[in-house]
């Protein structure tokens, strides 16, 4: 039961090189599921790009980035209760609380740190008005920069500039930013490091093609039951069993940002269909969408063939439209 992601390697790597050229101080981000590729693969690709730093999401992910020989930045803030390594010189820590910075400054080996400044995201960071309290603690650490994690909307460049200027009034150091467009980085001046994940690894969607395999084909007579929940079709139909289920991230979804009337209408319509037992699947047959016959299983899914569509055979491929940030494919195939 294999779910594969086919990658046009030449096209994909040309995009990586173009992003590198357009983004001074690029710091690739490889976290979570590695954007569908896996952290291990992205660590090797980052090495090929020649960058000096790779960002991961959490301390346990450091081991997955072992193929990268440079600095490994951990984006999740250091906490004393996380059991994070304190004396690994290749690790660059993010510190977002004054108490944590004081604890790190008391360590004998002067750990490498980025100090995070609180942005309008309101997630992690030391408020700008308290940055003067950071000053007496900096001699106990190796400060490698100030870092800001910005929202996806609004004038992020202006917010970044304001916070960077405030931080650098405490001590001059490079600034590490996220979600500032490459074209706007020059506005922030020198010493800017830009963390990029989605735009780097997933910025050439035409180079990525996820494929499922047809495992079984069943012709259903009217009223014949199927699946865990023993549903039936009044008119019968064709039931396909295809590779890819919840273990691969199929049909898993986070709450979406609904801000327009059209988006609200779509969300309401989809919710109504699901209440009636109908849910669209990400599997595409003959260019047409399909419906789940029932909720996906762990490693495969049951879908209903659209009326009039050609019937595939076991072993045939089926296109799958996945959310790459949650997808776990069985194999990445470079062409």
pLDDT, tens only, 143-166: 999 999 999 988 999 999 999 999
Residue 111 has which token pair? 């750990």
Q: What confidence score (pLDDT) does residue 276 get?
A: 40
Taking residues 259-284, report their average pLDDT: 57
238 in Cβ contact with 302 (< 8 Å): no
Q: What confidence score (pLDDT) does residue 264 get?
A: 46
55 in Cβ contact with 194 (< 8 Å): no
- Asked if pLDDT for residue 136 goes beyond 90, the answer is yes
252 in Cβ contact with 243 (< 8 Å): no
Lowest mean pLDDT among 198-202, 209-213, 270-274, 302-306: 270-274
Q: Which of the four pLDDT bands, split at 50, 70 and 90, describes residue 32?
A: very high
In whole angstroms, give the CA distance from residue 309 to residue 326: 29
Domains of the chain: 9-203 (3.20.20.10), 206-334 (2.40.37.10)
Taking residues 31-40, report their average pLDDT: 98
Q: What confidence score (pLDDT) does residue 260 get?
A: 60
Q: What confidence score (pLDDT) does residue 87 get?
A: 75
Q: What confidence score (pLDDT) does residue 45 get?
A: 98
- Mean pLDDT of all residues belonging to the chain: 91
Which of residues 175 and 86 earns the better pLDDT score?
175
Taking residues 133-137, report their average pLDDT: 97
Q: What confidence score (pLDDT) does residue 88 get?
A: 85
- Asked if pLDDT for residue 113 goes beyond 80, the answer is yes
- pLDDT tens digit sequence for 41-94: 999 999 999 999 999 999 999 999 999 999 999 999 999 988 777 678 899 999
Taking residues 226-234, report their average pLDDT: 92
pTM to 2 decimal places: 0.91
pLDDT over 90, % of the chain: 80
Q: Which of the four pLDDT bands, split at 50, 70 and 90, describes residue 259?
A: low
9-22 vs 39-49: helix crossing angle, rounded to 10: 60
In whole angstroms, give the CA distance from residue 196 to residue 182: 10
Q: What confidence score (pLDDT) does residue 208 get?
A: 98
- Asked if pLDDT for residue 270 goes beyond 80, the answer is no
77 in Cβ contact with 95 (< 8 Å): yes
In whole angstroms, give the CA distance from residue 163 to residue 176: 11
Q: What confidence score (pLDDT) does residue 257 get?
A: 62
- Asked if pLDDT for residue 327 goes beyond 90, the answer is yes
In whole angstroms, give the CA distance from residue 294 to residue 325: 24
User: Which residues, 6 or more positions from 228, have their beta carbon under 8 angstroms from its beta carbon?
Assistant: 294, 297
């Amino acid at each position: 039961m294999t779910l594969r992601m086919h990658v046009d390697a030449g096209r994909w790597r040309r995009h990586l090189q173009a992003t590198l050229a357009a983004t001074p101080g690029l710091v690739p981000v490889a976290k979570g599921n590695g954007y569908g590729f896996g952290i291990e693969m992205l660590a090797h690709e980052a090495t090929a790009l020649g960058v000096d730093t790779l960002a991961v999401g959490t301390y346990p992910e450091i081991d997955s980035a072992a193929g990268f020989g440079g600095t490994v930045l951990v984006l999740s803030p250091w906490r004393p209760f996380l059991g994070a390594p304190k004396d690994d010189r290749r690790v660059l820590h993010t510190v977002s609380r004054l108490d944590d910075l004081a604890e790190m400054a008391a360590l004998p080996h002067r750990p490498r740190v980025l100090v995070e400044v609180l942005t309008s995201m309101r997630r992690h960071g030391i408020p700008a008005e308290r940055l003067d309290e950071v000053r007496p603690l900096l001699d106990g650490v190796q400060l490698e920069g100030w870092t800001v994690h910005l929202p996806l909307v609004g004038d992020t460049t202006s917010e970044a500039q304001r916070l960077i200027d405030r931080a650098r009034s405490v001590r001059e150091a490079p600034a590490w930013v996220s979600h500032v467009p490459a074209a706007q980085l020059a506005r922030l001046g020198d010493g800017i490091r830009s963390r990029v994940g989605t735009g780097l690894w997933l910025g050439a969607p035409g180079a990525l093609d996820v494929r499922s395999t047809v495992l079984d084909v069943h012709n259903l007579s009217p009223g014949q039951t199927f699946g865990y929940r023993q549903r039936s079709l009044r008119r019968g139909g064709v039931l396909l069993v295809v590779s890819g289920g919840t273990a691969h991230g199929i049909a898993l979804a986070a709450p979406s940002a609904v801000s327009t009337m059209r988006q609200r209408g779509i969300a309401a319509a989809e919710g109504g269909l699901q209440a009636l037992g109908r849910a669209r699947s990400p599997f595409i047959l003959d260019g047409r969408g399909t419906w789940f016959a029932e909720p996906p299983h762990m490693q495969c899914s049951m879908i209903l063939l659209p009326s009039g569509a050609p019937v595939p055979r076991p072993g045939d491929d089926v296109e799958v439209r996945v959310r790459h940030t949650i997808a776990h494919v069985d194999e990445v195939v470079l062409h």
